[in-house]
A and B are shown apart, each in its own frame.
Chain A
């Protein structure tokens, strides 16, 4: 076996031996679950004092939205953000209230759309191509904008997402009530988290320092393991992803949505799925209308990661962790049901994407301003002002 000195060498190894890649993927998934579990323990040890300020800030739903958005645009992954949120909500002590977490999840949904918009900027040198690519990229943005515009006020007024998700999570937990089942997966995850806590204890005697160290290490592990998992799955399923996306674009919208969902759920990244569509749109191979249902499917498929993360949480707030993961799923399903079926409503995000692309196509500096301003500068300014 050749030394795995470089990512390219690793990629070659995986292509030559898919089983090796599959084993690595399981390992990455295991590390991810251990890190999510460990994060909960870290928050438990941190104590209420330090987190109080954060929790107080997130009682403002607008600020919660911005925090979710900014975190996602910085780490370039809604999966990382939602996994962190699941861990915080499910923390055995000092959990983040679900009500505070809901807008953060919505913000994460918006933040993840920046990646494919950035990808579309590569086409800036050729105006027509750029217009098409930018429209395909930003239809994702506008879908999420419209979803949040409608559903956040609805949630604040009725709490329907939180209530439905909590009910479903309770039902799922209640279905094994009275049956004492010691999950081998959870046992393995707990065992994996022990070295983390042991390491933190070895570094410092201070509980606070241990907590901060644990949180930092787990945060990094969540990011690294998800990144690794995404790359592995992409390498392993490269041709199948291409075949799937190709098939999706020739069929009816429901099938296209299903493909977007399945591909994203498997490779664990909506950004990859939606970014694949951007150069195709730029080349004129696909229309905006063809790309849209795949994008929506990807939006739903990315909720799988938070659901996976909720598998790793234990303790009295574990159900809350499952609930917030379900909120992510229900939010995206609600947005789909609200926006896609009626042609008059479905046209809105597409028209907005086309208009923005037309404007950005004439003055490409505006495209840069849109990405930098809306996804980074504005949220930072608003967060600072609110603080």
Chain B
């Protein structure tokens, strides 16, 4: 008990704790997206893989609750105004990361969907490219958010918006395609989940570029302002 008491005096600051929990949340959800993508495109998922994915999702959800609790705790006890924007930002961002985890989990469940034949062809290849783009963007976004790299954030926002648009167009093409009902469901849901993941990644990136009250919105003026400031 004495050790525990003494460790309190060596404890990291509340904001550092929140930041490190958020960092862990980002890392786990990124792994979740990549593992879920593997399972989806293999069209199979072993019981161990499913359990591992569920554990990761549970961990992400737990971290969300922990960070929210830490934020309320910190603001209630300390109430320092300078900490308020960061704390409110975290309350919003943890929601996006948790949703990314949820969509990744849903993506993995499609591997078990009894659709008859698994889709192949141009539309499926298109989805593979979207997957590669989303995973690369999320990997970069994790670094960008932690480093608050505005220049890179603006670049990724452009990529992300293209990805979202690309998903929208792919769904249109699936609707007009000759795929069976089962294949179309898999393709559409897979596309939709990647679209939502890309959307939430954009929300994360917006925190680096736009002011707090405009979080999750992409005011062209703000993006242009950020580009101008960066000399772009």
Residue B147 interfacial (CB < 8 Å):
no
The answer to whether A242 touches B4 (Cβ under 8 A) is: no
The answer to whether B14 touches A242 (Cβ under 8 A) is: yes
Residue B230 interfacial (CB < 8 Å):
no
Q: Which of B4, B13, B72 contacts A283 (CB 8 A)?
A: B72
The answer to whether B8 touches A238 (Cβ under 8 A) is: no
CB distance from B88 to the nearest CB of A (A): 15
In whole angstroms, how far apart are the Cα atoms of A262 and B9 in the complex? 12
The answer to whether A255 touches B4 (Cβ under 8 A) is: yes
* Residues from chain B with Cβ under 8 Å of A259 in the complex: 5, 8
* Residues from chain B with Cβ under 8 Å of A242 in the complex: 14, 73-74, 77-78
The answer to whether B78 touches A238 (Cβ under 8 A) is: yes
In whole angstroms, how far apart are the Cα atoms of A240 and B1 in the complex? 17
The answer to whether A283 touches B5 (Cβ under 8 A) is: no
Interface size, chain A (Cβ < 8 Å): 21
Residue B11 interfacial (CB < 8 Å):
yes
* Residues from chain B with Cβ under 8 Å of A245 in the complex: 77
CB distance from A18 to the nearest CB of B (A): 13
The residue on A at minimum CB distance from B1 is A255
The answer to whether B73 touches A280 (Cβ under 8 A) is: yes
* Residues from chain B with Cβ under 8 Å of A283 in the complex: 72, 76
Q: Majority SS of interface residues in chain B? A: helix
Residue B69 interfacial (CB < 8 Å):
yes
Q: Majority SS of interface residues in chain A? A: helix
* Residues from chain A with Cβ under 8 Å of B9 in the complex: 240
In whole angstroms, how far apart are the Cα atoms of A241 and B8 in the complex? 9
* Residues from chain B with Cβ under 8 Å of A251 in the complex: 4
* Residues from chain B with Cβ under 8 Å of A262 in the complex: 5
Residue A258 interfacial (CB < 8 Å):
yes
* Residues from chain A with Cβ under 8 Å of B5 in the complex: 258-259, 262
Q: A247-B8, A285-B69 are in contact. Are A239 and B76 (CB under 8 A)?
A: no
The residue on B at minimum CB distance from A286 is B73
The residue on B at minimum CB distance from A249 is B73
The residue on B at minimum CB distance from A247 is B8
In whole angstroms, how far apart are the Cα atoms of A240 and B8 in the complex? 7
Q: A239-B13, A240-B9 are in contact. Are A285 and B76 (CB under 8 A)?
A: yes
CB distance from A29 to the nearest CB of B (A): 20
> A232-275: which residues lie under 8 A (CB-CB) from chain B?
238-247, 251, 254-255, 258-259, 262
Q: A247-B4, A258-B1 are in contact. Are A285 and B14 (CB under 8 A)?
A: no
Interface size, chain B (Cβ < 8 Å): 16
* Residues from chain A with Cβ under 8 Å of B14 in the complex: 239, 242-243, 246
> B4-45: which residues lie under 8 A (CB-CB) from chain A?
4-5, 8-9, 11, 13-14
Residue A276 interfacial (CB < 8 Å):
yes
The answer to whether B11 touches A280 (Cβ under 8 A) is: no
In whole angstroms, how far apart are the Cα atoms of A243 and B6 in the complex? 11
In whole angstroms, how far apart are the Cα atoms of A31 and B118 in the complex? 82
The residue on A at minimum CB distance from B76 is A279
> A143-158: which residues lie under 8 A (CB-CB) from chain B?
none
* Residues from chain B with Cβ under 8 Å of A244 in the complex: 8
In whole angstroms, how far apart are the Cα atoms of A369 and B72 in the complex? 30
CB distance from B94 to the nearest CB of A (A): 16
The answer to whether A240 touches B77 (Cβ under 8 A) is: no
Which among B1, B8, B9, B78 has the greatest number of chain A C-beta atoms within 10 A? Answer: B8
* Residues from chain B with Cβ under 8 Å of A279 in the complex: 76-77
In whole angstroms, how far apart are the Cα atoms of A285 and B13 in the complex? 19
* Residues from chain B with Cβ under 8 Å of A240 in the complex: 8-9, 11
* Residues from chain A with Cβ under 8 Å of B8 in the complex: 240, 243-244, 247, 259
CB distance from A285 to the nearest CB of B (A): 6
In whole angstroms, how far apart are the Cα atoms of A242 and B77 in the complex? 7
Contact pattern, B 59-85, Cβ under 8 Å of A = 1, otherwise 0: 000000000011011101110000000
Q: A247-B8, A285-B72 are in contact. Are A241 and B77 (CB under 8 A)?
A: yes
The residue on B at minimum CB distance from A243 is B11
Q: Which of B1, B4, B13, B76 contacts A280 (CB 8 A)?
A: B76
CB distance from B183 to the nearest CB of A (A): 47
In whole angstroms, how far apart are the Cα atoms of A259 and B73 in the complex? 16
| CB-defined A-B contacts under 8 Å, sample of 13 | A240-B11, A241-B77, A242-B73, A242-B74, A243-B8, A246-B73, A247-B8, A251-B4, A255-B1, A279-B76, A280-B72, A283-B76, A285-B76
Taking Cβ atoms with an 8 Å cutoff, the residues of B that contact A are 1, 4-5, 8-9, 11, 13-14, 69-70, 72-74, 76-78
Beyond A242-B78, A247-B11, A251-B4, 15 additional contacts (C-beta under 8 Å) are: A239-B11, A239-B13, A239-B78, A242-B73, A243-B11, A243-B14, A246-B14, A247-B8, A254-B1, A258-B1, A259-B8, A276-B76, A279-B76, A280-B76, A285-B72
Taking Cβ atoms with an 8 Å cutoff, the residues of A that contact B are 238-247, 251, 254-255, 258-259, 262, 276, 279-280, 283, 285
